[in-house]
Every structure is written in structure tokens, then in C-alpha cells.
Amino acid sequence: MLAYTVHDVAISCGIRELPPEDGWRCFESTGVATLTCSCGYTDGPMPKPLARLTAELHIHGAT
């Protein structure tokens, strides 16, 4: 058993859904990312480079 909380951060980036056109689902890049961690922590949306940095800081215990 691990005695500490495992931080498994997922970075969801760059896609948002647009209204359908001619019955097709449409997506576009937003340039932003949202963080979701297995411990319940979430952050964002924020610019992708910042999201990666924020995720690393979170895993290493800063937040």
C-alpha cells in the first residue's frame, strides 16, 4: 500500500465542440488546457504551456 496520495494529472487540451453542421459533430482548437487530477484537484482552463507547468508543480507538492 502506498501511504501518500497518488497524483495522476490528466491534461485535457485544445478541443471544444462547436454546434453541429450538416449532422457532423464539429471541434476546434482552443489553445487552452484543463487539468484534472486523480486526487480531485482541477484547474484551468489555461494556456497549454502553463497547464503542463502547473501539473508538474501539483505532482511535486506545491499545490
> Residue from 39, 53, 56, 57 that binds Zn ion (CB under 5 A)?
39
Output phi, psi for 18, to 5 deg.
-105, 165
Contact range with Zn ion by CB under 5 A, out of 7-15, 16-24, 25-33, 43-51: 7-15
Residue 8 or 28 with smaller CB distance to Zn ion: 8
DSSP symbols for 15-26: EEEEEEETTEEE
Which of 37, 44, 51, 55 touches Zn ion by CB under 5 A? 37
DSSP for residue 37: E
For position 41 contacting Zn ion by CB under 5 A, the verdict is yes
- Name the helix (H) or strand (E) containing 39: none
